[in-house]
Amino acid sequence: MRVGKSIILFGPPGAGKGTQSGLISSITGKPQVSTGDMLREAVKEGTDLGKSAQSYMENGLLVPDQVIMDLIRVRLTNDDADSGLLFDGFPRTLPQAMALEQLTEVEKVISLVVEDDEIVSRITGRRTDPVSGEIYHVVFKPAPPEVSGRLVQRNDDTEETVRKRLATFHQQTAPLSEYYRERGLLIEIDGSGDIKQVSASIGTVLEKDIGS
C-alpha cells in the first residue's frame, strides 16, 4: 500500500523539528508523524514494543529499523495518511529511507542545520507540557505561569545522553542528507536563529513551492 507524496523534516535532535512541524502541517495539510513521539507513547503504555525500545532510547541509540518500519506501516493504514505525511525524526538510517520509498514518494526533505554546541544548550533547557504536548525552553521559550508548574523534561534530554544522540546522528543519520541531495530533494535551512526566524524561512520555501 502506497500513500500520497510525503515531506521529511530532517535534522539532528534538538534542531527544532518538533517545534516547526505544526507550521509545516498547517501549510501543507499533511499530518505530522514523529517516530520519537510514537515510541515514547509505547514506552508510557508499557507495550512489548515500548519495552524493547526503551533501553535504546535511554542510551541515545537508534531503535532497530524493523521496529520502526512496523510502526510506520501501521501508521500508514490510518485514513489521514492517504494524501501523504510529514515525517519528523524518520527516516534515520539508509535502510529506513529505502523502505520508505516503497510506501510513499518523498516530495522534499527540509533539513534544519544547527551546530552541536547550540543543540546541547537547547536540549538541556527543553521542557514539554504533558497536557498539550507543546514544547517550551527555560530561556528561549518560557511557558506561561499556568503551565510552568506541570512541565516535564524528557529523560533522554540530559547532557550525557544528548552527546550520545548527537554522535549517533553524525554516524548513522547525517549521511542521509547526501542521499537526498543527490536526488535533488534536500532543502537546507539555517535552524540556528530564533523560532520565528526559522519559521519564516520554512514558510518562504513552502510558499515558493506552492506558487510554482
- Non-local CB neighbours of 160 within 8 Å, separated by 6+ positions: none
Q: Which is nearer to ligand AMP, 68 or 187 (CB)?
A: 68
Q: Angle of helix 116-124 relative to helix 159-168, nearest 10 degrees?
A: 140
Side chain identity at residue 32, one-letter code: Q
Candidate list 40, 92, 108, 127, residue with the active-site label = 92
Instruction: Note the residues at the interface with ligand AMP (CB under 6 A).
Output: 13, 35-36, 39, 56-57, 60-63, 68, 89-92, 96, 165
- Give me the least distance between CB of 145 and ligand AMP, in Å please: 27
- Give me the least distance between CB of 98 and ligand AMP, in Å please: 13
Candidate list 141, 154, 164, 181, residue with the active-site label = 154
75, 38 contact by CB (below 8 A): yes
Query: Is 17 a catalytic site residue?
Result: yes
Query: Is 150 a catalytic site residue?
Result: no
Q: Which is nearer to ligand AMP, 60 or 84 (CB)?
A: 60
- Give me the least distance between CB of 129 and ligand AMP, in Å please: 16
- Residue 130 preceded by cis peptide, ω within 30: no
Query: Is 154 a catalytic site residue?
Result: yes
Q: Which is nearer to ligand AMP, 67 or 211 (CB)?
A: 67
Query: Is 92 a catalytic site residue?
Result: yes
C-alpha cell at 194: 530564533
- Give me the least distance between CB of 119 and ligand AMP, in Å please: 11
37, 22 contact by CB (below 8 A): no
C-alpha cell at 156: 533522554
Q: Where are the beta strands (DSSP E) in the chain?
A: 3-10, 32-34, 86-88, 104-113, 126-128, 135-137, 186-190
- Give me the least distance between CB of 192 and ligand AMP, in Å please: 18
Q: Which is nearer to ligand AMP, 7 or 68 (CB)?
A: 68
Candidate list 40, 75, 108, 165, residue with the active-site label = 165
Q: Would strands 104-113 and 3-10 be described as parallel, antiparallel, or unpaired?
A: parallel
Tell me the residue nearest to ligand AMP as measured from the CB: 36
* Rounded Cα distance, 112 and 188, in Å: 6
- In a 3-state reduction of DSSP, which class is residue 93? coil
Q: Which is nearer to ligand AMP, 36 or 84 (CB)?
A: 36
Active site residues: 17, 92, 126, 154, 165
